A and B are shown apart, each in its own frame.
Chain A
Amino acid sequence: MADTSLSTDKLLDMYRTMQTIRQFESRVRDIFQEGQIPGFVHVSIGEEASATGVAAALTKQDYITSTHRGHGHLIAKGGEVKPMMAELFGKKTGYCKGKGGSMHIANFELGILGANGIVGAGLPIATGAGLAAKVRGSGEVAACFFGDGASNEGTFHESLNIASSWKLPVVYVCENNLYGEFTAGKDVTSVKDIADRARGHDMPGIVVNGNDVVEVHETTSQAVERARKGEGPTLIECKTYRWEGHVVGEEAFLGKRSYRPSDEIEAWKRRCPLITFEQRFVPDTFSQEEIEAVQADVKRAIDDAVQFAQDSPYPEPEEALEDMFSNA
């Protein structure tokens, strides 16, 4: 039932990316709870297909903006797990030399304009990256990841209005995981489908199964093509779900107070993006052995990343005063 025009290499790459996100974040969750990672972390376990399918439709020169739940986006856009893990540990070898942490990883060479700790902040930034591409005529596209919560921010509407008015090459990707922090989206959102909000800004709004990496990828590819042709932005809503809490370890302060039913979590786990992929492509396209080899490769990479982060030095305290202003 491999009814897709995607090559087997592309499919396996996407599977590898999803595995990397899953294993990276599962390990982060575990070692955070062991106390090895300071601060707090937000993981996107269960949402791997949207990050992967979107990023696979972009080139290295294209831009993304990400969110507080950004590890998956960064890995999918080419972020390496070693400097990412080191950044989470606050080590000098991290992507941001320990100055950003989980919520602020950026890598400009890869077009990653940063995860962001402010809900909705990436929307105008991605819009601006699209504007830059348009003003200089250089052809890049900006993909903007944000959640259902951010779609209630003013910056969402301001950005969609600007991008649509100016026909900017931006793909807005709403990962609707049904909850903004500890509040259900349905209780605080005027529309059932966030994609409907595209109509108010005269752009296409498309709902996709956010747990199906192929569907996400194919829809995004069309939106990217539209953007590159100068036809303007698209809003894609990926219906998905986060298996874990808003923040790892939230039980510590929420106690037994619950904000979502456990049968809902179980139902979504049965729609796991990785299992969805395996059911569709194994054994017709890939053998079980090929899939297991990917899993084992990724496990080794994550083991190495943790080791690298653990072995890396902290920055010198005085480095807190560096990197303020560019003298260039």
Chain B
Amino acid sequence: MPEMNFIQAINTALAEELRLDSKTFLMGLDVWVGAFGATSGLTDEFGAERILNAPISEAGYAGAGVGAAMAGMRPIVEIEFASFFYCCWDQVCNQAAKLRYMSGGQADMPITFRAVCGAVGSAAAQHSETVYSQFMSVPGLKIVVPSGAYDMKGLLKSAIRDNNPVLVFEHLKLGRSKEEVPEEEYLVPIGQAAVKREGSDVTIIAIGYMVSQALKAAKALEEDGISAEVIDPRSLIPLDEETLLSSVAKTHNVLVVDEGHLRCGAAAEISAVIADKGFDSLDAPVKRLAAPDVPVPFSPPLEKFILPNDKKISATVKEMLG
């Protein structure tokens, strides 16, 4: 099977979906040149009419995406860095998320928002956040966080075809990571977790880039005789509770790892679901490993200190099982 990196997966998914449906168009900052390469070359095939280079005007063009979706189109809106979502919070949370419900189910809202997220190395607090957990408490949005090229392509295609607003968070650190991606068409359904590694002693639920760290940790733990199962929820909303809970029922121990902040974060929500519905399976309290509640700092040692990684994951697991 051919290999493809994360950015190529995005590019291919976009091209395939743009080809498939003339109602689909892409709009965002720097999409002609493709700031990170994900949209590079799309104008050659689809022209400037369907690949729209937007002004630095998030509220304006995110809101225009919402209007276009209500008027029967299928826009893909790129919000460069996830922290820029704050500039169009109203358009995403008050408009895209609510207009279907408020209209009594009249409106389909087939809009996809894409943003790069996560700490990539000294980008400081306004270009390093994950942000997705804040959207998790806004009913009406679907949220996916792919952890590799295969899921990236399949989830993005599903997001574009979905008739609801879907937020796709693309961790920039995954950009060059490669995976096997089939040449034939496939979709990864939204709302389906993936067991990335089977194990029997502990379940590590990891989100986005943290999946790679959890897999590394699991390998190290194996040498210490600990068998870790690694689960990637892939979509945070809707959350595949069944897969998470059946893993916990098997291992009786669970660590939830997220690069986002600890307080009210994605790990907090997943932990609460397990505590609510899987309490009888647990041998120990659900444990969270996430970034402490400070803005992401600039200086390399500071940034490194707050981010979870494979070593912190394996140390936490050993502590839990110790």
Contacts and interface: CB of A to CB of B under 8 A. Distances in A.
A267 interface: no
A121 B94 contact: yes
Interface in B51-71: 52, 54-55, 57, 59-71
Nearest to A98: B104
Looking at A133, A322, A323, which has the most chain B CB atoms within 10 Å of its CB?
A323
A94 B68 contact: no
Interface string A253-270: 000000000000000000
Interface string A1-31: 0000000000000000000000000000000
Given A96-B106, A161-B55, A125 B100 contact: no
B109 A99 contact: no
Contacts of A327: 163
Contact of A161 (B49, B50, B57, B65): B57
Given A127-B64, A155-B60, A326 B100 contact: yes
Contacts of B49: 135
B60 A135 contact: no
A165 interface: yes
Contacts of A94: 104
A209 interface: no
A114 B68 contact: no
B131 to A, nearest CB: 20
Contacts of A155: 59-60, 63, 90
Chain B interface size, as a band, is 35 or more
Given A108-B103, A132-B72, A324 B67 contact: no
A214 interface: no
Interface in B67-82: 67-73, 75
A121 B104 contact: no
Contacts of A326: 100, 105, 108-109, 163-164
Nearest to B91: A124
B161 to A, nearest CB: 11
A180 B59 CA distance: 21
B176 interface: no
A96 B67 contact: no
Contacts of A125: 63-64, 66-67, 70, 95
Interface in A131-172: 131-133, 135-136, 140, 142, 154-155, 158-159, 161-162, 165-166
B71 A133 contact: yes
Given A124-B64, A125-B67, A135-B73, A162 B94 contact: no
B108 A128 contact: no
Contact of A99 (B60, B62, B75, B103): B103
Looking at B72, B75, B163, which has the most chain A CB atoms within 10 Å of its CB?
B72
Given A63-B71, A135-B68, A324-B100, A162 B57 contact: yes
B113 interface: no
Contact of A325 (B25, B67, B102, B164): B164
B102 A108 contact: no
Contacts of B52: 131, 166
A216 interface: no
A129 interface: yes
Nearest to A106: B103
Contacts of A323: 100-101, 104-105
A326 B163 CA distance: 6
Contacts of B73: 131-132, 135-136
Interface string A45-72: 0000000000000000001010000000
A127 B61 CA distance: 9
A135 B74 CA distance: 11
Contacts of B90: 118, 121, 155
A315 B176 CA distance: 52
A136 B75 CA distance: 12
A204 B99 CA distance: 31
A194 B54 CA distance: 25
B16 to A, nearest CB: 19
B277 interface: no
B246 to A, nearest CB: 24
Contacts of B109: 326
A126 B54 CA distance: 16
Contacts of B142: 325
A328 interface: yes
A77 interface: no
Interface string B106-133: 1111000000000000000000000000
A242 interface: no
A164 to B, nearest CB: 11
B136 to A, nearest CB: 15
B67 A124 contact: yes
A113 B108 contact: no
A123 to B, nearest CB: 7
A113 B163 contact: no
Interface in A78-134: 94-100, 104, 106-108, 113-114, 116-118, 121, 123-133
Interface of B: 22-23, 25, 49-50, 52, 54-55, 57, 59-73, 75, 90-91, 94-95, 99-109, 139-140, 142, 163-164
6 contacts: A100-B103, A118-B94, A158-B61, A159-B63, A162-B60, A162-B61
Interface of A: 63, 65, 94-100, 104, 106-108, 113-114, 116-118, 121, 123-133, 135-136, 140, 142, 154-155, 158-159, 161-162, 165-166, 322-328
Closest 10 CB pairs of A and B: A124-B63, A128-B67, A158-B60, A323-B105, A128-B64, A97-B104, A125-B67, A96-B104, A132-B71, A326-B163
Given A128-B63, A159-B64, 17 more contacts: A106-B103, A106-B106, A107-B106, A108-B70, A108-B106, A116-B95, A121-B63, A124-B64, A127-B67, A128-B67, A131-B67, A155-B63, A162-B60, A162-B64, A324-B101, A324-B139, A326-B109
